[in-house]
Chain A
Amino acid sequence: MSESAPLPGPYFGEYGGRYVPESLVAALDELTEAWEALKVDPTFKLELAELHRSYTGRPSILTEVQRFAEHAGGARVLLKREDLNHTGSHKINNVLGQALLTRRIGKKRIIAETGAGQHGVATATAAALFGLDCTIYMGEVDTERQALNVARMRLLGAEVIPVTSGSRTLKDAINEAMRDWVTNVETTNYVFGTVAGPHPFPAMVRDLQRVIGDEAREQVLALTGSLPTAVAACVGGGSNAMGIFTAFVGDPGVKLFGFEAAGDGADTPRHAATINKGRPGVLHGARSYLLQDEDGQTVESHSISAGLDYPGVGPEHAWLADSGRAEYRPITDDQAMAALRLLSRTEGIIPAIESAHALAGVLELGRELGPDSVILVNLSGRGDKDMTTAGHYFDILDRDAEQM
């Protein structure tokens, strides 16, 4: 285990903080205090570890992908298989922790935002497991392109509210969830899905996701006898990336790479490459990089991947980028989809389109780092939810069978 403790927040260098209505401060203070107490509480640790083991299926395995790696300059490529978790992505790690926290502070209702629907499904799952009322806010555009996840959430007993304001995507779902929280804060806990938002969310979500990197670090050491050359992950808000980076931040020899969604291309207007193309500002309660116009109005992002289609990014990533500790590179829709197909055909593993951005990055990275390198990649989610998108993209659907 890496011994250097990650920053506790609220600030990561000049980033982070709390840019929120005063009405939310008491709830954020309550969460911060409860989380500080809970994360060192042995009973909580045991309870969460048991949920990870017997509900989620942790530790997630490490899979070496040799046939895929032949396309990555011959580097050794190791996948951390978060796609095998219950509910299909890393999101469950965070949600189970926040559900336990909700119970600790005595609230009976949870709300969440969701983009692709993965965090919404994970939250609805935890609500079912813990017997909590659950409302999920999802941009209307996303409810249309991720209709199956809407059905999953409703089947799990959650209320799904399509958000029709603004750009009708993830950023507006967050706005609407915040409005709900301001109104119902006495009874309701906001289960935030990524390492963005006001303190304590960036630090708390990272703390709950760092299990990915903590496990992987030991697994890579056991397999290869040394630390990896590089660690790679896709970055939207950035929770799976912080989850796998955190265990390695204190290892100066391990390079960290985040891959952002470049949509049609980072130099076109249609992308979600927040760190590469944005500039510092305030959005959704924190100071970080964001996509904005000269007046500070948020600019809509674009990505084939709903989970990366977000004009902001977690403040700790902004800090890691500025300090040079991690490097963030853009990956286009086409690069990601090519990598998705490559992993499917060489390894029999269909990744989420989000995770395919990291895989595409690794294809380049492997050639740069050479055949002696070992690259650990966070395969943050599985591709089942993306079959409609992939079916259209590759034109592999039978016309008559197309029902979505």
Chain B
Amino acid sequence: MSAAVPGAVASTIAARRQAGSGALIGYLPVGFPDLPTSIDAAVALVENGVDVLELGLPYSDPVMDGPVIQAATQQALANGFKLRHAFEAVEGVRARVDAPVLLMTYWNPVLQYGVERFAADLRDAGGAGLITPDLIPDEAETWLAASDAASLERVFLAAPTSSPERLKRCVELSRGFVYAVSTMGITGARADVDRAARTLVDRLRDAGAENACVGIGISTADQVREILGYADGAIVGSALVRALAEGGVAGVADTAARLATGVVA
């Protein structure tokens, strides 16, 4: 992890850990079902116990996403989502609540916007950094430089199949936390979160990870509680997106509050 001043995400997770627990990290796509509602929903997550926000950028070819998130981001695109809305969303959320905000984005939109310009605009909007599901450290040279220059956090993914060398590199280069992919698969709720997650977090610790957060397949407070027993954060996505789709802002607020009962201090 960074030897420099820890970023907002790292600090938030550290504070949760010191309190004897871990962080609840919540994902929602920007622009779903529309831009103002997506901002309201993100604010509602924080007001109901989510510690770190992960806002997803709708993209035409989301290879890591399961059906729930695909449907939501496709609707956001059909409703006219533009890249600049991402910065408006970050700014809008940060004006109302104090939780750190990461953007989760596939790489081509950042590349087309200009990596340095994207980093600068994200920083100016009050964003904490990026989670990059299809950018592996091997291809990340430009992003490493731009995120350093803009003092942004950067979250790379670690998989159960990653070699020890790759995990070490992932830990060295990540800032904020390492995103431990709980299971081999795409996003979406699962009844059981694999034992593979626990093994992967152990391996990440061995590789020197300070903050390892587990995502993919998590949808209940019990799962959050179980994961925070060994990891520093639990990441919930599809379950929140479904709650927003079905119950609006009130629905997603309820779901967040229920998930937050899994964060026992």
Contact = CB atoms under 8 A, between A and B. Distances in A.
Given A182-B63, A182-B186, A185-B184, A19 B112 contact: no
Interface string B44-85: 000000000000000111111011001000100100001100
Contacts of B135: 19
B97 interface: no
Contacts of B61: 166, 171-172, 175, 283-284, 298
Nearest to B161: A26
A17 B139 contact: yes
Contacts of A26: 159, 161-163
B185 interface: yes
Given A183-B185, A297-B59, A21 B64 contact: yes
A183 B60 CA distance: 20
Interface stretch (A70-78, A124-132, A267-275, A288-296): A288-296
Contacts of A296: 59, 83, 108-113
Contacts of B184: 23, 182-186
A41 interface: no
Nearest to B58: A297
Contacts of B134: 19-21, 282, 285
Interface residues of A, number: 34
A22 interface: yes
B112 A281 contact: yes
B12 to A, nearest CB: 24
Contact of B113 (A25, A29, A295): A295
A297 B109 contact: yes
B204 to A, nearest CB: 12
A21 B63 contact: yes
B212 interface: no
B136 A282 contact: no
B71 to A, nearest CB: 8
A178 interface: yes
A179 interface: yes
Contacts of B136: 18-20, 22, 25
Interface string B160-204: 111100100010000000000100111000000000000000000
A216 to B, nearest CB: 35
A164 to B, nearest CB: 10
A156 B74 CA distance: 34
A297 B64 CA distance: 16
Q: Which of B67, B138, B170, B181 has the most CB of A within 10 A?
A: B138
B113 A183 contact: no
The binding surface of chain A is classed by DSSP as mixed
Q: Which of A178, A183, A184, A297 has the most CB of B within 10 A?
A: A297
Q: Which of B61, B62, B156 has the most CB of A within 10 A?
A: B61
B107 interface: yes
B248 interface: no
Q: Which of A19, A23, A179, A282 has the most CB of B within 10 A?
A: A23
Nearest to A284: B61
B157 interface: yes
B133 interface: yes
B136 to A, nearest CB: 6
A21 B157 contact: yes
A26 B159 CA distance: 9
Interface string A1-30: 000000000000000011111110111010
Interface string B136-170: 10110000000000000000111111110010001
Contacts of B166: 22, 25
A22 B156 CA distance: 9
A19 B110 CA distance: 13
Contacts of A292: 108, 112
Contacts of B63: 20-21, 175, 178-179, 182, 284
Contacts of A19: 107, 134-136, 139
Contacts of A17: 138-139
A313 to B, nearest CB: 15
A352 B170 CA distance: 47
Given A166-B74, A179-B186, A282-B107, A22 B181 contact: yes
Interface string A147-186: 0000000000000000001100001100100110011111
Contacts of B170: 22
Contact of B70 (A165, A184, A282): A165
Contacts of A297: 59-60, 77, 109
B161 A23 contact: yes
A282 B60 contact: no
A178 B64 CA distance: 8
A281 B60 CA distance: 13
A1 B99 CA distance: 64
Contacts of A185: 161, 184
A264 to B, nearest CB: 21
A21 B112 contact: no
Nearest to B134: A19
Contacts of B181: 21-23
A175 B59 CA distance: 12
Nearest to A29: B163
A299 to B, nearest CB: 8
Contacts of A294: 112
Contacts of B107: 19, 282
A26 B160 CA distance: 10
B161 A166 contact: no
A29 B165 CA distance: 13
Interface string A177-199: 01100111110000000000000
16 contacts: A19-B134, A20-B63, A21-B63, A22-B166, A165-B70, A175-B62, A175-B63, A179-B63, A179-B64, A182-B184, A281-B111, A282-B108, A294-B112, A295-B113, A296-B110, A297-B59
Given A284-B61, A284-B63, A292-B112, 14 more contacts: A18-B138, A21-B64, A21-B181, A22-B136, A23-B159, A23-B160, A29-B163, A165-B74, A179-B63, A182-B185, A281-B112, A295-B83, A295-B113, A296-B109
5 closest A-B pairs (Cβ-Cβ)?
A: A296-B112, A26-B161, A296-B109, A23-B159, A183-B185
